[in-house]
Amino acid sequence: MLPSIIAIDGPAASGKSTIGAAVAANLGYLYFDTGVMYRVVTAVALARALPIANEAAVTALAERVQIDFCAPTVADGRQFTILADGADMTWDIRTRAVDQNVSPVSAYPGVRRAMTAHQRRIGLQGNVVMVGRDIGTVVLPEADVKIYLDASEEERARRRHCERVARGEAVEFATVLREIQKRDQIDSSRDVAPLKRADDAIYLDSTGMAITDVIARVMDLVAAKELAH
């Protein structure tokens, strides 16, 4: 029997989304990027001119905004379509402004409670590959397979820099590296559900590895867990 719940955690730009989506496709499972939910809350807050520092206002927004996921509705390279109160936010959540503000938003306890409850409902249905920063530790500690995907700061900054340049942004590598380092510090030191490796998670460093090799390694881990059942 295949493992039903696969959790992949790790820091920014470690490859969680790319690997998680590929593994889910290989298994015929639902792919769910939990970090997207925090990005949606951040993007909507910015669009509505809510001060990110206003914890009460951002938390209230998180509790009432309707977030929906569905298959891609536009052939523009997206992995899925994300709606917030019916509005397509798929690319709005990938802006630099969201990158710079999502960590404080995701650190708010009330925001995390609202998002975690939704994530658990989805995850416990099974046949899911869920990626984030606290899946194995908080959201789904009962996951059948837990992987902590990592890479060096420089490697992760290079990946993020390439993504942003490909989108037409004029950004320096040094700037992206500083943003990655700042995000790591915020995510790892927050009081609620900080980024950390679960005690029983398998550590996988993807520095210097090709995407296909990382996917193959994760599939091997899933297969090994299957044999153990």
Flag whether 224 is in a domain: no
Handedness of CA 194, 200, 202, 207 (dihedral sign): positive
The whole-angstrom separation of Cα 155 and Cα 207 is 6
Handedness of CA 142, 107, 132, 126 (dihedral sign): positive
C-alpha radius of gyration, the chain, whole number: 17
pLDDT averaged over every residue in the chain: 93
78 phi and psi, to 5 degrees? -70, 150
Please report, for the domain that includes residue 200, its CATH number. Answer: 3.40.50.300
- Cβ-Cβ contacts under 8 Å for 71 (sequence gap 6 or more): 80, 81
Flag whether 56 is in a domain: yes
Terminal-residue alpha carbon distance, the chain: 7
Give how many domains the chain has, as a whole number: 1
What does DSSP say about strands 145-150 and 67-70: parallel, antiparallel, or unpaired?
unpaired
The whole-angstrom separation of Cα 223 and Cα 101 is 38
Cβ proximity of 191 and 207 under 8 Å: no
Flag whether 26 is in a domain: yes
Flag whether 223 is in a domain: no
Flag whether 90 is in a domain: yes
Identify the domain containing residue 87 by its residue range: 5-217
The whole-angstrom separation of Cα 131 and Cα 108 is 19
Q: Tens digits of per-residue pLDDT, 177-216?
A: 999 999 999 889 988 889 999 999 999 999 999 999 999 9
Flag whether 102 is in a domain: yes
Flag whether 227 is in a domain: no
Flag whether 225 is in a domain: no
Q: Tens digits of per-residue pLDDT, 80-132?
A: 788 999 999 999 999 989 989 998 999 899 999 999 988 998 899 899 999 99
